Structure 1
């Protein structure tokens, strides 16, 4: 569990560094991107290794069949991650599409995983995303909406979403966690 918690803390620190210490981040300049990116990669590795090594300690039992809702929410989450880049019709309606996607991702995973390690990992990532949105809203001020996007951007995002979703579900199946069984309990 220690690796999992260290990974989560490193993830949070790397992501909020610019928000809580903008002067220190500015001093690093463009050279600071490398160490921050490396910190994020290390944090992901620690979270994955820590999660896989964590003892299964049940806290609650997911509702049978809830995996189908998880799958739908994950499609929405992956689509949300791409809203800002694809410049679809939602680009000027959601201020934090990636963080919103992370909250949806966290909720989806908490629906189907009732063990302590899952609560720490997915709950921690979800709380981080909400806190990050609040910090950005507080420090960045009023949101200057981008130009409205097009349906073409949404179609491109939908295709990319389906490809990424297929890859992610394929990895889950390969690891022995078939997300299409409807429940994991």
Structure 2
């Protein structure tokens, strides 16, 4: 659990540093960008190693029906994440689509994982995404982009379904079948 917690701390710190200490980050120049990226990457590696190596400590037993809700939320999370790159009508409907997607992803996974490591990982990522939105909203203004053509939103739906299938395949490859049997 130590590596998981250290990884989360590094992930959160690296992401929040440029927003909470913009002058210090600016003084670092390009090296600062590299340091932040390295912090995020090392944090992610520690999170993965820590989570995969954590002992299974049951906290609660999720009911099986929540798997269906998890899968619906995951499709929504992939779609919302994709909104950050869309140039369709949905462009500009949401200020923080990537962070909103992380929140949806975290809640979905908290619903179906009742062990301590999962609660730390997904709860920690949920807390980070909430904090990040608050910090961004207090430190920056947003110029809402103009919407684009509706056909780009159709492309987003197709990409969402393909990405969900890929994510499902990765989960299956890792030994976690995401559908109730």
TM-score category, normalised to shorter length: over 0.9
Scaled by the length of structure 2, the TM-score of the pair is: 0.93
Indicate the RMSD between aligned Cα atoms, in angstroms.
1.4
Question: Are 2:180 and 1:181 aligned?
Answer: yes
1:48 aligns with 48
1:1-185 matches, cutoff 5 A: 1-141=1-141, 143-181=142-180
What stretches of structure 1 of length at least 5 have no aligned partner? none
Aligned length: 181
Cα offset for 1:39?
A: 1.8
Distance in 2, Cα, partners of 1:119 & 1:151 = 39
Distance in 2, Cα, partners of 1:49 & 1:105 = 20
Distance in 1, Cα, partners of 2:120 & 2:88 = 33
Extract structure 1 runs of 4+ deviating beyond 3 A.
none
Distance in 2, Cα, partners of 1:149 & 1:99 = 22
Distance in 2, Cα, partners of 1:155 & 1:36 = 35
CA deviations over 1:21-67 (Å, ceiling 9, x no partner): 10111122234322222221211111111111111111111122211
CA contact under 8 A between 1:87 and 1:153: conserved in structure 2? yes
Scaled by the length of structure 1, the TM-score of the pair is: 0.91
